[in-house]
Amino acid sequence: MSGEQKLYMKQKKILILGAKNSHIPLIKKAKEMGYYVIVCTYDASEPGIVYADEYHNVSTSDMNAVLDLARERDVDAVTSWATDVTAPSAAYATEVLGLTGNPYQTIKVLTEKGSFREFLTKHGFSTPGYRVLTEQEIDSCSKPPISLPVIVKPVDSSGGQGVTKVLISEDFMPAVRIALTYSRDKKVIVEEVVEMAGTQIHGDGFVVDGRLVFTFLGDHHFADANNVVPVATSWPSQMPDHILKKLILEVGRCIQKSGFRFGPVNIEARVDSSQNIYIIELAPRGGANNSSELTKIGTGVDLPHELMKYLDGQENNLKVSKSECVAYYLIHSQTNGLFSDIKIDPEIQKYIISLHLKVEKGESVRKYQNMKDALGVILFKFDDLDSMNKTLIQIQNHLAVVVNS
């Protein structure tokens, strides 16, 4: 191609839904590849906006508004990242406009918890007992529809918002009411608790042409302040290899049955004492909490780059080139109050890659209930599994969030 031809080539445009910290690697990668980057979000304070070429104050969950923006700006690609909420909007816009994307119905099934449980049951996957309740049904439901203990969740939220573990009947209706406030569709799902043998497995994968070609699986960690919503993930997972291989096969089968074509997937799974695999979530997105940075450090695989290559029609290469011990930890408070300071023991400072703090001194903070309550995130790289395990097990002794009443 001549220089003159290059000069008159139309610059490709991409619309990225959201501009949080986790979106920044994708925004930067798209810019590096020569794209004109447009971002949209209702929150004008999101830090990724400054890295984009153009910003629009449009809700990422408003499918018609996203479609209108994509059509108006004549974009070549629309994509989401790091949150379930934006994935249906991206799929809807790409399907209507005939762009490279995943089927809208597939994304709807993977992001709507009741539909996902129904899908898993239909195709013979291990699934906890569950019941979906509409707002109208809730009014006539005074006790749990399945045996306690149960987990109560909104069908359409992410980040642990509105999720409660219920142990006694008296706590059921308050949990349902909380979940309902977080649901856009005004539905909640009540699920049996899958008692784990080992840890809850968590990590990212990548799909090319309907095949799961890459995984980086780790272990979730829970805080005393909330034993339902995770507060950290460490990689690699320390679950037995045969369990991880079985999980990868189940996730691959799930992807094939769902019709998911390409892109990142975020995996959460539990294994019971009989070694049955329960896929808790298979979200069509990259991991939140800057986990794509950790995937790159831990394996050498750059997931934002691989997504952009696929969208750009280039060949993917997800070859793992290294194996490092990495983790993220969500900085959080165990009490309500005003943020004062964060104190970190010098003993763990040497493992910290980066610390993103999103609150300032004097700001109001809440006791950790879901990931929205996180005050920031720390990314770690460890020398070995032993140092990683010791640090995370004892992290409350090494890190203190100071909150004034």
Half-sphere exposure of 10 (CA within 13 A, CB side): 6
**Which CATH number among 2.30.140.10, 3.40.50.80, 3.40.50.300, 3.30.1490.20 corresponds to the domain 129-192?**
3.30.1490.20
CATH code, residues 201-404: 3.30.470.20
**Distance separating alpha carbons of residues 95 and 261, to the nearest angstrom:** 13
pLDDT at 2: 46
The 3-state DSSP class for residue 212 equals strand
Kindly state the DSSP code that residue 333 receives in the 8-state scheme: B
251-268: pLDDT as tens digits = 999 999 999 999 999 999
Q: How far apart are the first and last CA of the chain?
A: 66
Rg (alpha carbons) of the chain, rounded to whole number: 21
Per domain, the residue ranges of the chain are 9-101, 129-192, 201-404
Residues in the chain predicted with pLDDT less than 50, given as ranges, are: 1-7
335-378: pLDDT as tens digits = 999 999 999 999 999 999 999 999 999 999 999 988 889 999 99
Q: Are 153 and 191 in contact (CB under 8 A)?
A: yes
pTM of the model: 0.94
DSSP states along 120-170: HHHTT-B---EEEEEHHHHHT--S-SSPSSEEEEETT--TTTT-EEE-SGG
**Which CATH number among 3.40.50.300, 3.40.1160.10, 3.40.50.20, 3.40.50.280 corresponds to the domain 9-101?**
3.40.50.20
pLDDT at 166: 94
294-305: pLDDT as tens digits = 999 999 999 999
